Structure 1
Amino acid sequence: MRHSDWEKRFVAVTERHLNTPCVWGKSDCLLTVADAVEAITGTDPAADIRGKYRSMTGAYKLIKARGFSDVASVLAGQFEEIAPALAQRGDIGVYEKTAGYFCEYGFAVKGDDGLRFIPRTMAERAFKVA
């Protein structure tokens, strides 16, 4: 269920990550998406993995140790998959093995130096955040 003031909280996540560089285990693509989900629902889906890895290799080792094959399967394990064309603001997805979220600027993905916004039609998979 969406938090009563989710929109305000969601915008704050985008503003916070706009110029925050990617730091594995602190501010990478999955944790940025988890921040967006927490803003919307009030629950952090990544609370148990924050700070438990410090590199891309470490992140993928953790993903595999938890029984997932990639970032998309992590999201699919927690959220209902929907057609990307049906994704709404606040839903999450994947573009080229990178987790992101749908927002007013398109599809937000974490880059080396902060958020990048690509056309929402470029998202390859999408998942509903209720």
Structure 2
Amino acid sequence: MGEIMRREGWELRLAAEIRAWEGRAFAWGSADCLGFCRATARAMTGTDPIPDLPDYESEMQAAKGLVGLGFASLEDLVDAHLPRVAVARARRGDWVMTAAEGVMPGAMGVVTGRHAVHLAERGPVRRPVLDAEVAWRIG
């Protein structure tokens, strides 16, 4: 697991990337929660922390892709690439996973302060960070 660093001005790039996703509804493989999180990490660091994922267009294809890579879950995949942090210590730009109402079970999100942005069926939604079950450090 290589260390990634936030670039100067990451705050503005994070905000711009989140704005760019406003109005985008969830679509497996092109506008899903992991794709959203990876896009924000690339904006902040210039690096994709989880490169080389297989293409998928459905939940079933995504699950098969994870198994093909040797992971039992999305959480296991992220654990293999990023360090975990306590949810209460998650900072802006870090990733969280939650099962909060209004988002899909196991949905990934990006911390923006006291809230995290998650990509739901109707587009981005905000949920309290402390609703998350797991958090990972980005840079």
Structure-2-length-normalised TM-score: 0.87
Counterpart amino acid of residue 112 in structure 1: E
How far apart are the structure 2 equivalents of 1:95 and 1:110? 12
| Range with bigger deviation, 68-77 or 38-47 | 38-47
1:47-126 alignment, distance < 5 Å: 47-49=51-53, 52-96=55-99, 97-104=106-113, 106-126=115-135
Gaps of 5+ in 2: 100-105
Aligned-residue offset at 1:67: 1.1
Aligned equivalent of 2:25, options 18, 21, 37: 21
How far apart are the structure 2 equivalents of 1:4 and 1:127? 20
User: What is the identity percentage for the equivalent residue pairs of Structure 1 and Structure 2?
Assistant: 28
Aligned-residue offset at 1:64: 1.3
Q: How many pairs were matched up?
A: 129
| Per-residue CA distance 1:63-107 (angstroms, 9 max, x = gap) | 111111111111111111010000000110111211111014611
- Please provide the CA RMSD for this pair: 1.4
Gaps of 5+ in 1: none
Structure 1 residue ranges (4+ consecutive) displaced by more than 6 angstroms after TM superposition: none
Counterpart amino acid of residue 45 in structure 1: P
Counterpart amino acid of residue 62 in structure 2: A
SS at 2:81's partner residue? coil
